[in-house]
């Protein structure tokens, strides 16, 4: 799956006019609801409200939106069929797929990401439920705003980290903003005994790309992942991770022992933590309050894991909005473990990895394509 390039910050936005949003959904109720939410935001404007994918394809050049909200199930031409036609007419269009929480729609949404969609947003079964509607509204507006800013920013400066030897700096060329701390933390001298990964927007593509290349690492240690995703979507993602890695991957089950050679994914709607079980470690799930507006959240996983593995903990913070993972990452670094963040240039949104990088807790800030090789070297004994 390809990784789209985007930025999360709006500090150096080039254009100040409102983001132009197209809403495509066969439900007049949903179109009206989404349009009202968008129009209530001062930096967003609805430039079209259409019923079918065919209408969108026929009118995309005239409407010229920055962002399209594209329903999956529509008459005449559905969302997954319309997606490549829309991108063919406007290559830099940001497309956010919208779908209800069914297995079929989860599969289609993940497929859409591989075809060029920027992200997805699950629609609640009923917008009459205040909590569900508010979550949908907040997630949708946040994604429109952050993803829509992607083509309005100049490229980030390229700066090399100062700790690594010259040869490794050439391999691990790091793209980062000028305000990042001038030095990175040394990697832990302890061989990692677990690999933790946190991700959000853009995460499914990044995760699949990463696990494809780290088979030897997975064989050595357990891999625990929290991806911000609703139920059903995490079930499908776990299946994709298993196929991509060639290793067992599944949603974590409360109480199961954590073993090397396996990938454990936090199930949608539940936080996944690490609990002590005799001399070993086990999965602990709970449906407690959201953390950083998310459930599952990355911080509970990171914080609980460092309590068991201490300085033998290695964490990766991949693309995503917000700052989830930063607090837990600080605990990992304080305990002597190591944190790697994805760089800005290859992140769909540089919120989560940017927060970790700017907190000064990282031992490396790397392009996605270089993280796997770094992990393979670290787990082979290279501590630099």
Catalytic residues: 200, 228, 324
Let me know if 28 is exposed, middle or buried by CB neighbors in 10 A (0-12, 13-18, 19+): exposed
Cis-peptide into 160, omega within 30 deg: no
Provide the β-strand partners of residue 100: 123
The count of other CB atoms within 10 Å of the CB of residue 248 is 14
3-state secondary structure of 2: coil
Spatial distance between the Cα atoms of 175 and 246, rounded to a whole number of angstroms: 31
What is the DSSP-derived secondary structure letter of residue 127? T
Could you tell me the end-to-end alpha-carbon distance of the chain, in angstroms, rounded to an integer?
30
Cα three-residue angle 208-7-21, rounded to 5 degrees: 100
DSSP 47: E
- 262 vs 221, 273, 278, CA distance in Å? 8, 16, 20
Reported as half-sphere exposure (CB side, CA atoms, 13 A), residue 326 has a value of 18
Say how far apart CA 354 and CA 175 lie, in whole Å.
Answer: 11
């Amino acid at each position: 799956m390809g990784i789209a390039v985007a930025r999360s910050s709006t500090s150096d936005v080039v254009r100040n006019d409102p983001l132009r949003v197209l809403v495509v959904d066969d439900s007049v109720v949903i179109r009206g609801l989404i349009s009202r939410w968008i129009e209530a935001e001062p930096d967003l404007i609805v430039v079209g409200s259409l019923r079918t994918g065919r209408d969108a394809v026929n009118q995309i050049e005239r409407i010229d939106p920055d962002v399209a909200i594209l329903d999956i199930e529509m008459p005449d031409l559905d969302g997954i069929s319309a997606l490549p036609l829309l991108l063919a007419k406007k290559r830099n269009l940001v497309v956010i797929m919208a779908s209800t929480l069914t297995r079929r729609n989860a599969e289609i949404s993940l497929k859409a990401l591989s075809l060029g969609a920027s992200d997805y947003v699950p629609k609640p079964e009923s917008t009459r439920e205040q909590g569900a509607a508010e979550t949908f509204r907040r997630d949708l507006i946040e994604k429109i705003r952050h993803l829509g800013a992607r083509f309005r920013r100049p490229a980030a400066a390229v700066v090399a980290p100062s700790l690594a030897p010259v040869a490794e700096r050439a391999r691990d060329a790091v793209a980062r903003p000028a305000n990042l701390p001038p030095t990175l933390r040394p990697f832990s001298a302890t061989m990692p005994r677990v690999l933790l990964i946190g991700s959000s927007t853009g995460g499914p593509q990044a995760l699949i790309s990463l696990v494809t290349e780290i088979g030897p690492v997975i064989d050595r240690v357990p891999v625990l992942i929290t991806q911000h995703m609703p139920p059903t979507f995490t079930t499908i993602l776990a299946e994709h991770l298993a196929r991509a890695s060639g290793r067992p991957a599944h949603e974590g089950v409360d109480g199961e022992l954590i073993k090397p050679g396996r990938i454990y994914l936090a199930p949608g709607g539940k936080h996944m933590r690490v609990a002590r079980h005799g001399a070993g470690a086990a999965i602990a799930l709970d449906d407690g309050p959201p953390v950083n507006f998310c459930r599952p959240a990355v911080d509970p996983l990171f914080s609980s894991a460092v309590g068991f593995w201490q300085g033998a903990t290695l964490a990766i913070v991949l693309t995503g909005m917000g700052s989830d993972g930063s607090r837990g990452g600080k605990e990992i670094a304080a305990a002597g473990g190591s944190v790697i963040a994805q760089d800005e240039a290859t992140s769909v949104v540089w919120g989560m990895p940017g927060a970790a990088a700017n907190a000064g807790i990282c031992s490396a800030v790397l392009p996605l394509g270089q993280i796997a090789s770094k992990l393979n070297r670290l787990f082979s004994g290279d501590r630099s």
